[in-house]
Structure 1
């Protein structure tokens, strides 16, 4: 439908106008977020996933077995800059700051004023799942930014009813699908919400053009997945099994509601649910549908508990509007205290602000923090073992984190042997050529498994991560010298590959 034809359509009576943007307080919250995150951005070091994203980016493709190509491409570009892991962390912080800036715009679309927008920005800044995700650069923190941006753009498109505003949402959706497949669930929630509550929007050309653009932008990754036998679906099944399937996800719902959202902030998103369910919030109730669909789909599919977490931004925005409508006399000090407590919890469990021993103790709450520590020492230990072997001896690791650490940190330490692994996309890249007369195997291996590939397997030393209780030390990870192969690498490879 032409743009001029859309303009003559009457405005939906139940759609309120957008409130003015509260720039100063929101920018202040965003600045505080940036300063806090940057202060500890490189305190420990790389995370195993960051190594993997960079290595994937060095093998440019339209897809990988466990993610679309956007984050690996960005990680490769960032890692090419000086500063080690800092450029990647700058991308992570920028994504978190983007969420803090965008979520108040959704509040403004709901009609929320200065106070409501400030509360929304502060809630995102203090929410543990947003804070913890921005510790490292990866698909999750970018996914959060995409979700919040899409919620804002769809709300804006519903208000403006213009093709251009819908196309902006379509482009964002398409780019988001090239980062993480979970955006498809967000789009499903939006579609269901519009069909149930804003059906008049579907009579316009805008939503359909937006969907077409999103599909076109996502197509290269879908084609790659199809050409490789849909490994992303197999990986999703592996991850679901690791979470205990749908029953395990159902058991984790209280975790999402309490720990990830921030215990003091539960009241805010509950108020958001009530406001969206009330007559005054009817025009924006599709946001509630998005949250419900996200929780139902990810639970039914056995997804990780944090997958639907970005939908909290919509509930926080609605809850802040409700708080503002109560008047300043109610909650004048209560909300700042609640947000401050949540921020403290988020900092302690989500960022490397504690001494190493304390972070190690709190590993059960969030293992991600401690997994950013100890990699230089790991590389040194492997380098010493490799020095006793013939030059060019291949190194075979049990997981992508170990392989990535050796490939990225190793050259600066004098470790230049080729590194391989059988996990995830490393398995797809394949083995080295020839016959593995001598191989250095590093990681969590069953010696019996190695014995099926080599006739002589000798454990050199257990892997030490400088006292850190991470994946390498929770299990028996060690360095092995393997000799007398029972075949070529190509023959041994099928028995060495594995998923997460």
Structure 2
């Protein structure tokens, strides 16, 4: 254990870095438009519950608060996300302090976090990943304090943080499990023999209990969703796991987090934190999970590597300035809405989320243009996924459209069609099995979007009233992925 008292926190410079990030995210928050997930959260936030098919309730709840306070616009929706990313930068600087960094090293940690790819990317959007990153950083900070001081009362702070994090995303259990395994291997195991640990577990379980009960009452739909993700994308996720982690954090930060890993191992007392990362990667790879499921721990390594990085910077100031500028510019280009819409396709191979923020109003207008005014009150619109349904819920009323439905995720539970009029299907690809439920289907048009997202090339298909009553048909159409 390193019993050295941490240096004074560099509050002024760190807050300046965090404030600059907030200014950039705020300035760009209104560009492009809502992300498909945000459109889903907008509807979920209006239908608050203790759980949803694919997630716990925290992100929809935050979405509701943000739009109520700041307006139902992309900028208003993202205010709290921006604040969460600002706090994440501050926590990463505090982690650097715990690892023995002086004031300059703490500032380096904050700057590295602010110019990286992943943190600004999730800070730009209202997403589960945004608040999950902050939760992981707080968990890491409390774990490091626990290891450095061996004061087992930090288990209480961990329990509180984990409980809240579980109401946002269950992924937080993965780093904790990896850390427990690492503690058993490297020690100090005495930290696990504490009543404070049991108290922390009790706090986390109590906070998470409402969503667990909801999942139990609905036959654990999140497990079904997770299984569908693994089956559909598991192979691709495994192949791209390491390359995407390097790209999403930023390739130029690779030496920083490698230096951080080595420093954690050299310090000895935080070795379990270092070992937790490869353990976590093995688990995520085995499950076919996405690369960003393990990526937040790399920010802990960035914090640990800040002090040796500062030492390198003092010897290579011109090169460091060029590297920092290049990292900031490339991260912004690939993760933030700085490019014109016409150029977004250039960055989609690295960051598909850029394309998911463009074209939703145009999609709504195309749907409106293909439903005659005389049929709008009786037409049932069936969207293929929650993004389309969310867009039609957001922009449809202004276009004079009826309520849109979707059998995808929680949309399938919120409302189901009842009208006996014509049906307009939005199909990513023509689906004979789907259309077999409806007579006289014919394609009206093909959707074209400015970017290569899922909806580009989708078909609008008009059919007659289904041959099977909606209450019987609707459960057959639902999709979990």
Under TM normalisation by the shorter chain, which class is it? Answer: over 0.9
Q: Quick one: which of 307, 321, 326 aligns to 2:293?
A: 307
- Alignment of 1:19 onto 2:7: yes
Offset, 1:312: 1.0
SS in 1 for 2:461: strand
Out of 78, 82, 87, the residue aligned to residue 98 of structure 1 is: 87
Among candidates 168, 184, 190, match of residue 179 of structure 1: 168
1:383-426 CA deviation, whole Å, 9 max, x = no partner? 233334141432111110000011112223333x1221011112
Residues 107-256 of structure 1 aligned to structure 2 (within 5 Å): 107-162=96-151, 165-196=154-185, 197-245=187-235, 248-256=236-244
Q: How many residues align?
A: 478
Query: Is the Cα contact below 8 Å between 1:20 and 1:113 reproduced in 2?
Result: yes
Question: Are the aligned partners of 1:443 and 1:479 in contact in 2 as well (CA < 8 Å)?
Answer: yes
1:342-366 per-residue CA deviation (whole Å, 9 max, x = no partner) reads 2211101101101112112322121
Q: Distance in 2 between matches of 1:14 and 1:152?
A: 15
Deviations 1:51-72 (A, max 9, x none): 1112122222211121111001
The structure-2 alpha-carbon separation of the partners of 1:452 and 1:257, relative to structure 1 and needing over 3 Å to count, comes to closer
Structure 1 residues 160 and 446 mapped into 2: Cα distance closer, same or farther (>3 Å)?
same
Tell whether 2:464 aligns with 1:483: yes
Do the aligned partners of 1:79 and 1:85 also contact (CA within 8 Å) in 2?
no
Measure the CA separation in 2 of the matches of 1:333 and 1:121.
20
Q: Do 1:398 and 1:445's aligned partners in 2 also have CA atoms closer than 8 Å?
A: no
Tell me how far 1:238 sits from its aligned partner.
1.1
User: For residues 327 and 455 of structure 1, what CA distance do their matches in structure 2 show?
Assistant: 70
Deviation at 1:454, TM superposition (A): 0.9
Partner of 1:31: helix, strand, or coil?
helix
Task: Note the aligned Cα RMSD (angstroms).
Answer: 2.0
Contact 2:152 2:196 in 1 (8 A): yes
Matched, 1:291 2:280: no
Match of 2:43 in 1: 55
TM-score by length of 2: 0.94
CA deviation string 1:254-279 (max 9, x = no partner): 3134211211110001101111111x
1:375 equivalent in alignment to 2:364: no
Q: Kindly provide the CA deviation profile for residues 251-302 of structure 1, in whole angstroms up to 9, marking residues without a partner as x.
A: 2233134211211110001101111111xx1111222123222211111110
Q: Which moved more, 1:195-204 or 1:155-164?
A: 155-164
